[in-house]
Amino acid sequence: MKGTRLIDFLNGVTEIEDVESVYNGRVSVVRDLAWGTYIKAGGLTQSGGVAKKVWKTALKKVKNQMPDVRSSFILGLGGGSVADLIKKYWEGAEVTGVDIDSVMVDLGKKYLKMPEDTEIIIGDAEKEVKSKRLEGKSFDLICVDIYAGDNFPEKFQTDDFLMAVYSLLNKSGVIVFNRLYYGEKRKEAYKFGEKLERMFGNVDRFYPEANVMFVITNDLPAGRQVDG
């Protein structure tokens, strides 16, 4: 299904495209005066808009700690907001992104600033982190933003998956996990943070908007804060 319709004329909010996705259900591209153009699914902004603002805050802080990023990997590429920010903060960085939903990626190419040189993998992140495609590869920066609507799937919280992601990190590299942090999501995020600390030790956190970002650095002593 595709469609275009006006949502709220008085507030300048327009839905410019509406499509169905096997993985995300109804996906809408919205343009408004406050947030620009963004992609919504499952009742939440998935790319652009406030989602991009959350990652902008996170990556600005990481930039202070890590001025040089040559290679990056995004799990949950979506419409490409994180890819665009990485290119902005680390000019010349290579960006590889994986997403299971080609509909979301195609909308990002059409409406958002998905960098043209992004290496795009359409597939399940759980399988891709262990695939031969990534054999021998490692990254300075890994960003994990894997949601199905407002749900962070359990398979992306297992020891096996988390260790597979960590194994792709270069020495002195950084992993950033994005988790929702409101209502019942707070308890889920808190438990996830405790698990990361048990597994990796070097975990810092900060709270942009209604989210919490967990930052794992490969070789910093436990307890050191991300500058910002």
pLDDT digits (tens, 9 = 90+) for 88-136: 999 999 999 999 999 999 999 999 989 999 999 999 999 999 998 898 8
Burial track 171-200 (b if 16+ CB lie within 10 A, e otherwise): eebbbbbbbbbeeebeebbeebbebbeeeb
Instruction: Over range 66-75, report the average pLDDT.
Output: 96
Same domain (yes/no): 19, 129: no
SS3 of 23-81: CCEEEEEEEECCCEEEEEECCEEEEEHHHHHHHHHHHHHHHHHCCCCCEEEEECCCCCH
Same domain (yes/no): 71, 108: yes
Share of the chain above pLDDT 90, in %: 79
Its pTM stands at: 0.90
- Work out how many domains the chain is built from and give that number: 2
- 223 within domain boundaries: no
Same domain (yes/no): 83, 160: yes
Instruction: Over range 69-80, report the average pLDDT.
Output: 97
Same domain (yes/no): 92, 195: yes
Same domain (yes/no): 34, 122: no
Same domain (yes/no): 189, 108: yes
- 228 within domain boundaries: no
Confidence at residue 57, expressed as pLDDT on a 0 to 100 scale: 94
Q: Which domain holds residue 30?
A: 5-45
Instruction: Over range 14-38, report the average pLDDT.
Output: 93
Same domain (yes/no): 61, 126: yes
Q: What is the mean pLDDT of the chain?
A: 90
Same domain (yes/no): 144, 102: yes
- 227 within domain boundaries: no
CATH code of 82's domain: 3.40.50.150
Same domain (yes/no): 62, 141: yes
pLDDT digits (tens, 9 = 90+) for 159-176: 999 999 999 999 989 999
**For residue 1, pLDDT beyond 80:** no
**For residue 4, pLDDT beyond 80:** no
**For residue 222, pLDDT beyond 60:** no
